[in-house]
């Protein structure tokens, strides 16, 4: 399994992470880069990184996209993702995102292929993805344990341990395999 960090290693937010096996490619989060805190007027859609087969106007080359939570630095580029790519995210996240889009003048109506459910595995080709509800300031946030090519990878999205659902993050940590 290969891990490709398209964006998110040199800044906070704007995360786009790809996991790839010989047969399959999946993406975790498609975020916008956070705005410049020194220039509050400068709020624009961030440039899309080159991720072959991910965005509209390209032939589909990604098998699925998983969204950890509804903050813009994790979901902000979702309207630009190729419509043929199945998207998986929390049901409450979809509801919140679609309702908020009306208030900010966007014509967005995300219809995911499936909803993330706590500890219910999703199989995409060579991958088995297990979502875990975790504590974060965004309602309906998930972290993931991912298996593929006899390896295990963990993608946390954003988590914390001091909110109302802190116990969920602790439970997720307790479920982590010994060899990640």
- CA R_g for the chain: 16
> What count of Cα atoms within 13 Å lies in the side-chain half-sphere of residue 52?
4
Give the DSSP H/E element, type plus range, for residue 46: none
Is pLDDT larger for residue 165 or for residue 53? 53
Is pLDDT larger for residue 70 or for residue 11? 70
pLDDT of residue 10: 77
Min mean pLDDT across 39-53, 126-140, 161-175 is at 39-53
Q: Cα(180)–Cα(33) distance, rounded to whole angstroms?
A: 28
Q: Cα(158)–Cα(135) distance, rounded to whole angstroms?
A: 8
25 band by pLDDT with thresholds 50, 70 and 90 = very high
pLDDT of residue 46: 60
Q: What SS3 class is residue 43? A: coil
Query: Is the separation of the CB atoms in 100 and 91 below 8 Å?
Result: no
pLDDT of residue 36: 64
Average pLDDT, the chain: 88
pTM score of the predicted model = 0.90
């Amino acid at each position: 399994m290969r891990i490709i960090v398209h964006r998110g290693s040199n800044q906070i937010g704007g995360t786009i992470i790809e996991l790839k096996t010989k047969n399959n490619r999946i993406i975790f989060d498609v975020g916008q880069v956070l705005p410049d805190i020194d220039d509050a007027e400068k709020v624009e859609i961030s440039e899309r990184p080159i991720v072959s087969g991910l965005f509209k106007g390209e032939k589909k080359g990604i098998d699925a996209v998983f969204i950890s939570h509804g903050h813009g630095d994790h979901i902000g580029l979702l309207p630009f993702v190729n419509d043929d790519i199945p998207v998986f995210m929390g049901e409450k996240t979809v509801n919140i995102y679609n309702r908020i889009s009306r208030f900010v003048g966007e014509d967005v109506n995300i219809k995911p292929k499936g909803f993330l459910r706590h500890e219910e595995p999703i199989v995409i080709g060579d991958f088995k993805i297990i979502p875990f509800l975790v504590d974060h300031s965004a309602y309906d946030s998930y972290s993931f344990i991912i298996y593929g090519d006899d390896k295990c990878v963990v993608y946390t999205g954003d988590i914390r341990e001091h909110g109302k659902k802190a116990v969920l993050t602790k439970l997720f940590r307790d479920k982590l395999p010994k060899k990640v």
